[in-house]
Amino acid sequence: MYYGNLLRKYFLLIIGLLMAASFMGSVLAKSGQQVIEKRKNPIRDSEKTTDEVFKNIKVMNGQPASQLVPAMHFFEAALGFNCGNCHVRGSGEHDWDFAKDDKPEKRRTREMMTMMNAINKESFKGEQLVTCFTCHKGSPDPTAIPALMTASSMKEKNNKPDEEEVIKIPNRLGTAEEIISTYQQAIGGKEAFEKITSLKLEGKADMGNGRESSVSVFEKAPNLYFSETKSPQGTMQRVFNGEAGWFKSQQFQRKFEGDDLRDLKLSSDFYAPLNFTKNYSDLKLENVQLLDNDTVYAIEGTFSKYRRFEFFFDTKSGLLLRQIQYSHTLFGDLQIQTDYKDYRNVDGVLFPFELDISDYEHAQKFRYDAITPNAAVDDKIFEEPGK
């Protein structure tokens, strides 16, 4: 149900990424000596490679085509860049000629990618321990000189808790399975969940700088999903019919494919809170941590080769307080953090009515005014937009 989607659905946050993805094409070229090791990123059956889909690929040769755009987003986060720093615009507003090598920044990027791959191969046995962010820290120009200590940074350093200190709590649970079971009971339990077969959610999203959007969501078991956001900039929709998914805006429409489709399918699992062991492998309890003023169990799980998650459950209430999604790219990991607040009882099930979602460039707040269980839902809204 949508409660499960709250575990990973960054609806408005992903809009900008989706728009960029729809326009992305070929970008990078190699300097000739180093190619990313294919054994580290085997091609999925039937998935095309970058060479087959894009033009002028010279470093990311032979890699899954679906991984090109995530790599671009990693460069964006690591250097504080956007598409225009390296790529050439065409004649139209949304027209790009990504294959062109006109800009020196793009040529320099090839050299830096080759250098980074060589460092990891020769010094770290091929493990991705050095990334663009290791040196750049969000800036095009790496800082070579350590920063000066200030009074505030000294205070922060002195007040930092001892990482080796074990946090002691009464009746500490010992396994991820026990913690997840406690969470499932805390939010209402299996029987209460299964009495709900559809949901309607209505609310608002604060996108920052005074920008606000209205959000409407409809879901139906087992995995049908429709969402719509309206703002002064226009209307956007996300749809999943159980097999295929689409994104639609006033400018374009695209079909979800590859990891985007797998993410959407996971997001659309109506009973996701009951399906932790089904959806995630290698679930394990990492430790007990402090999260603001709460103690939390930190659990790690893997969804796919390119997605892993951390879940933080309150040791007292059992509720999920935070989730971090790590998206693996060919050059480093990106993360999206979601904080869950204001749990309320809706027909025997607790739903978080507030979500704070952030990634490397956005920080947004969702506030739901109403969550209606077993709402009447017309199946036609889950069809491909425009049909």
Is the pLDDT at 381 greater than 90? The verdict is yes
Q: For 169-184, what is the mean pLDDT?
A: 90
d(CA 192, CA 202): 22
Residue type at 171 in one-letter notation: N
What pLDDT is stored for residue 22 in this prediction? 31
Q: For 126-145, what is the mean pLDDT?
A: 91
What pLDDT is stored for residue 154 in this prediction? 77
In this structure, of 81-95, 222-236, 243-257, the range with the lowest mean pLDDT score is: 81-95
Q: For 189-199, what is the mean pLDDT?
A: 95
What pLDDT is stored for residue 343 in this prediction? 97
d(CA 43, CA 85): 30
Is the pLDDT at 290 greater than 70? The verdict is yes
Beta strands 294-304 and 307-314, pairing class: antiparallel
Per residue in 147-165, pLDDT (tens digit) is 888 887 777 777 666 555 5
| Domains along the sequence of the chain with CATH | 18-136 (no CATH), 173-382 (2.50.20.10)
What pLDDT is stored for residue 258 in this prediction? 81
What is the reported pTM?
0.81
DSSP letter string over 240-256?
E-SS-EEEE-SS-EEE-
What pLDDT is stored for residue 387 in this prediction? 67
Is the pLDDT at 377 greater than 60? The verdict is yes
What pLDDT is stored for residue 93 in this prediction? 67
In this structure, of 17-31, 169-183, 309-323, 339-353, the range with the lowest mean pLDDT score is: 17-31
What pLDDT is stored for residue 259 in this prediction? 81
Q: How many beta carbons lie within 10 A of that of residue 217, not counting itself? A: 21
What pLDDT is stored for residue 172 in this prediction? 84
Is residue 38 helix, strand or coil? helix
Q: Residue 332: enclosing H or E segment and its boundaries?
A: strand 332-346
Helix and strand numbers (H, E) in the chain are 12, 15
**Mean pLDDT rounded to a whole number for the chain:** 84
d(CA 118, CA 171): 49
Name which of 103, 111, 157, 153 is nearest 132 in CA terms. 111
Per residue in 239-285, pLDDT (tens digit) is 999 999 999 998 889 999 888 888 899 989 999 999 999 999 999 99
d(CA 387, CA 378): 15
Question: At residue 293, what are phi and psi to the nearest 5 degrees?
Answer: -100, 10
Is the pLDDT at 19 greater than 80? The verdict is no
Per residue in 327-357, pLDDT (tens digit) is 999 999 999 999 999 999 999 999 999 999 9
